[in-house]
Amino acid sequence: MNDGQNLFDRATAFAGVEWQVDEAADRMIRENAIAPLIIVGIDNSTKDRFREYMPYRSLQPMMLPSRGQTLPRLF
């Protein structure tokens, strides 16, 4: 999952707001709504976050150049 610093611990989460991904997954596993799983959190680089996620150059917001990549069309 993107923004891994926000997923599990409010001490590392942006503005101290944890997304409670681990609690939600535990609850859904106990309710047999989902199979057991492993959640991987990818930390972002903070200052370059938007550039990393933006797949193209943008003027709104100003992102020149972007660091994301657009996936090729498969059809």
pLDDT higher than threshold 90 for residue 65? no
Q: What is the mean pLDDT of residues 3-11?
A: 89
Q: Is 22 helix (H, G, I), strand (E, B) or coil?
A: helix
Sequence spans of domains, the chain:
4-63
d(CA 1, CA 71): 18
Residue-wise pLDDT for 12-62, tens only, equals: 888 899 999 999 999 999 999 999 999 999 887 667 776 666 666 666 666
Q: Is 62 helix (H, G, I), strand (E, B) or coil?
A: strand
Question: Phi and psi (nearest 5°) for 43?
Answer: -65, 145
